[in-house]
Each structure stands twice: as C-alpha cells, then as structure tokens.
Amino acid sequence: MNFEKRSDGIYENTDGGAALIKKYVHPLVLKSASGSCLTVGNNIWLAPLAGITDLPFRLLCKQCARMAGGGGDDAPGLVFTEMISAKGLHYKGNNSILLAESEPEEKPVSMQIFGSEPDIMAEGAAILEEAGANAIDINMGCPVPKITSNSEGSALLRDPVLIEKIVSAVSGAVHIPVTVKMRRGFEGEKETCVEAALAAEAGGAAAITVHGRFREQYYSGKCSRDAVKRVKEAVKIPVIGNGDIASSRQALEMFEYTGCDGIMIGRAALGRPWIFYSLLNEDFRAPDPNEIYRIIKLHIEYASEHMGEERGMREMRKHLAWYTKGMPNAAETRNRIFKAATAEETINIARECILRNV
Ligand SMILES: Cc1cc2nc3c(=O)[nH]c(=O)nc-3n(C[C@H](O)[C@H](O)[C@H](O)COP(=O)(O)O)c2cc1C
C-alpha cells in the first residue's frame, strides 16, 4: 500500500505490503497491575494527537472499517485521547474533563495523562477510569517547552527513578492497564529510552510505545527504528513501534526490523482515517469519491453532535483541508468551507466539490 496520487487527487495503494503485514496483525493482551486483562482486537493503533484525536475523530476511525463492511476488523484496535493534564483533572478543570468524554462505539479507548507528580497522576488516572477509560497511557514524549519546563512529557526521560514511581502510583490507583508512550531521549542525542522502558516495566506498565525521535527533533529528521528494536529486546512487555508509518510497506518494515508487537499511526491518518482499515484488510482499492464524501459527511455529523455545531465546524476546518489536499479544486473548496456557518452548508459544499469530478 504505497499511496500514490491518482489524477483525481486521491491516493491509491500500489505496493504489496498490505498482504505481507497480515502475519504480524493479531490481538494484543494488556495486563493491569491488579491482574485483569484487556484484549484489544488488533495491534494497529491510532496515536494520541493533541487537537486532533477528539471523540468525533476517534469514532470516525473506528467507523471507517464498519462502513467499508470488511470482514469484522474493527480498525484501529485501540484509540487514544490526546494528552490530558493530571493537574487539570485534580483541579476539576472543564477542559480536562471534556477531553475524557467517550462513547461505547469507540471502545476500547486509552486516555492519555501527563504530569510529573506521582500522587496527582494517580488521582487523575482514577478519574479517567471512572470516566470510561479502558486503559491509561502516560505521556513521556511531549517535546513542547510549556510541558517539559514542568518536568513533564519527554522531560521524564531524564529520570528513571521518577518514571518507576509514577507508573507504580498510577498502576496502583486503577484496575485497568497502564501503558507508557515515550521518545528516544530528552537531552541532545542521548538515548535513554531503554532505561526509561525498564523503569516503566518495573513500575507495572502493561506496554510501551516508542517514537524513535529525540525531544529536540520534534516531528522531523530521522526516526530511529533501532531505538524501538533496542527497547523491544530489553523488556518483556509488549512494545509498540511508532513514527513515520504512512504505508503498508513502512508498517511492514517496522514490524520486521524491530520485532515490535504492534504499531501506532498518527499523522498518516490525517485526511485518511481509513488507513487502519486499509492496512488490516489488504484493501488495495483507494476509497472512491462517493466513499470519501460519506466519510467526510459522517465526520461533520459527529463533530456537530459532540461539540455543538459552531465549535464542531471550526474544528472541522483543518480536517477538511487534509481531506481535500491534492484534489484539483482543493483551494476553492477550502475557501468555501471556511466560510460555511452550519453543518448542512459544510456537507453540501463537500458533496459538490468532491463529487464534481465523478
Ligand atoms: C499535532 C500533533 C499532536 C500530538 N499530540 C500528542 C499527544 O497528545 N500525546 C502524545 O503522546 N503524542 C502526541 N503526538 C505525537 C504522536 O502521537 C506520534 O508519536 C508522532 O506524531 C509520530 O508518529 P507519526 O509519524 O505516525 O505521526 C502529537 C503529534 C502531532 C503531530
């Protein structure tokens, strides 16, 4: 599935990778510290993305598989909320509580928490469990100074002792599995993910996701599969490989090279929420314009229903820009959509522009 752009601007899968990754796709069991297990249907997951993996988008990624009607694979196997502040939950901040909204159709859902104080994080995790989380993920990857200056996010990678304390406190406060998502390292090019992963495992983590970049790289430059491989070789719990997976060939390479137990996809799902379904179902056929229109319409409906029409349509703008990227009339479509006030108007413009060339 090498997404190549067709003349109508839609990406089509052309390589043979999808058929080959089938042997790496399987359910994954995540064990909680208290001994209960969460079995997720498959090991291809939607990454946490701040400002993007909100409830409407998570529902949509799940629903794409159902709409395509392909063989029961409920892609992706696990979806993640964006990072939620433990302190925000502690002080009962509205924003934090809103980010923890979930629906049965997206389950299982993992809610991601960030912070640096074990007690506050444990309390926050318990609130997220109460709100419906099926798993808790601890953020040890965020590179943004506003977060790292409080010793949160990727800054935790400097301190394995604190990592073990945090994971242990959070695991002890909930009955669901606790996972950790980390980068390669915090300072310069000093790789600390192996020590960090061992500390997380000792604290009771059920799985570790590794994004093979240093904090200073943010989201550019080389993403190291070797870092994922080294963590995989060091720990006994499942390891999820993350970073720059946008085709089945890249998914295959991550599985084959690192021996990882699952993969996580973030940016490649923007404007392509069907990527999980395509990977899991060896679906070489790109969605046709009618299907893309149906997916966009559903996304607009979810956004309107769960966020209210005004905020929902504001949030939809970036998604619509991603959906229409590369299409012949993308700029015009974007301009018109950005001016649309209602969900109905937005749907009508999307229909007109996307189906115009059919
Ligand atoms: C806009 C944006 C927001 C992100 N927000 C989060 C977040 O809230 N929590 C987190 O652990 N990682 C976050 N990430 C990192 C992604 O989850 C992922 O690790 C990274 O993008 C690499 O994977 P990809 O190449 O598949 O996108 C974010 C990345 C981007 C681009």
What pLDDT is attached to residue 12?
A: 47
Ligand 1 atom 5, closest CA:
49
**Residue 243, by phi and psi: left (phi above 0), alpha (psi -120 to 50) or beta?**
left
Residue 72 confidence class, pLDDT cut points 50, 70, 90: very low
CA 333 – ligand 1 centroid, Å: 27
Q: Which residues are identified as catalytic?
A: 142
List residues near ligand 1 (CB under 6 A). Answer: 47-50, 52, 82-83, 112, 139, 141-142, 181, 211, 219, 242-245, 265-268
The hierarchical CATH code for the domain 3-280 is: 3.20.20.70
pLDDT exceeds cutoff 90 at 353: no
Angle between helices 55-68 and 289-307 (to 10 degrees): 150
**What residue segments make up the domains of the chain, in order of their start?**
3-280, 289-355
Reported for 64-69, long-range contacts at CB under 8 A and 24+ positions apart, including other chains, are 64/273, 64/274, 64/276, 64/277, 64/295, 65/276, 65/277, 65/280, 65/281, 67/291, 67/294, 67/295, 67/298, 68/274, 68/277, 68/281, 68/283, 68/291
pLDDT of residue 19: 65
Task: Check residue 11 and give its pLDDT.
Answer: 44
Of 159, 156, 36, 16, whose CA–CA distance to 86 is shortest? 156
Q: Report whether 240 contacts 264 (CB < 8 A).
A: yes
81 compared with 329, residue with greater pLDDT? 81
Dist. CA 116 → ligand 1 center (Å):
19
**Which atom of ligand 1 sits closest to the CA of residue 246?**
26
Q: In sequence order, which residues have a C-beta less than 8 Å from that of residue 253 and are 6 or more positions away?
A: 225
Single-letter code of the amino acid located at 248: S
- Give me the pLDDT at residue 65, please: 77
Q: Give the sign of the dihedral formed by CA 51, CA 53, CA 55, CA 61.
A: positive
Phi, psi of 52 (to 5 degrees): -130, -50
The span from the CA of 57 to the CA of 62, in Å, is 9
Is the predicted pLDDT of residue 5 greater than 60, yes or no?
Answer: no
Going by C-beta distance under 8 Å and a sequence separation of 6 or more, which residues neighbour residue 352? none
pLDDT at 247: 86
In this prediction, residue 341 carries a pLDDT of 86
For residue 129, give the nearest of 81, 62, 166, 162 by alpha carbon: 81
Of 53-67, 290-304, 325-339, the range with the lowest mean pLDDT is 325-339
Per-residue model confidence (pLDDT) at position 281:
78
pLDDT surpassing 80 at residue 106 = yes
Q: Report the pLDDT value the prediction gives residue 330, as an integer from 0 to 100.
A: 87
pLDDT given for residue 10 in this prediction? 41
CB atoms within 10 A of CB 219: 12
Angle between helices 160-173 and 118-131 (to 10 degrees): 40
Q: Tell me what pLDDT residue 18 has.
A: 58
The answer, yes or no, to whether residue 2 has pLDDT greater than 90, is no
Q: Is the pLDDT of residue 51 over 50?
A: yes
pLDDT at 79 over 90: yes
pLDDT at 1: 41
Confidence of residue 285 (pLDDT cuts 50, 70, 90): low
Beta carbons of 204 and 167 less than 8 angstroms apart: yes
Taking only the tens place, the pLDDT of each residue in 87-100 is 999 999 999 999 99
**Nearest one of 301, 353, 358, 343 to 56, comparing CA atoms:** 301
How many CB atoms are located within 10 Å of the residue 158 CB? Answer: 18
Across residues 105-117, what is the average pLDDT? 97
Predicted confidence (pLDDT) per residue in 121-148, tens digit: 999 999 999 999 999 999 999 999 999 9
pLDDT at residue number 16:
54
Segment 244-262 mean pLDDT = 94
Preceding omega of 108 cis (within 30 degrees of 0):
yes
CA-to-CA separations, 189 to 49, 130, 215, 217, in angstroms, rounded: 24, 39, 9, 9
H-type alpha helices, the chain: 17-21, 55-68, 86-90, 94-99, 118-131, 145-148, 160-173, 193-203, 225-234, 248-258, 275-280, 289-307, 309-324, 330-339, 343-355
CA of 352 to the centre of ligand 1 (A): 33
Tokens describing residue 281: 């179902």
Q: What mean pLDDT, rounded, does the chain reach?
A: 91
The mean pLDDT value for 56-72 works out to 81
* Atom number in ligand 1 closest to CA 264: 26
* Mutate which of 57, 222, 239, 267 for ligand 1 pocket (most atoms within 8 A of beta carbon): 267
Mutate to test the pocket of ligand 1, among 45, 139, 219, 254 (most ligand atoms within 8 A of CB): 219
d(CA 286, CA 284): 6
289-355 CATH: 1.10.1200.80
